[in-house]
Structure 1
């Protein structure tokens, strides 16, 4: 079994990784739900009236 100081160091590094990912997910959540940021914007296709492509009416 490794010494306690080494186990404590690995535990702290592991918790820092968890906090880093939690902060990343919180930032993405705030960007999506608080700020008006749309990660999947709707695509609008507009044709000029002089286009040769027939449009559905």
Structure 2
């Protein structure tokens, strides 16, 4: 799905990292037994997987 985003004029860095929205997407990781989205630079959990809002 992510590969199709540019064809629809949408950014391909999904889900966007709130700290670096123009640089990279967030990374999915398990932290303390929870699946979370993290900033790949700081490894800081941003949101639980399934908990992102628009």
Instruction: Quickly name the TM-score band, shorter chain normalised.
Output: under 0.3
User: Larger helix proportion, structure 1 or 2?
Assistant: 1
Comparing both chains, which one has the higher relative contact order based on Cα–Cα distances under 8 Å and sequence gaps of 6 or more?
2
The TM-score, its normalising length taken from structure 2, stands at 0.23
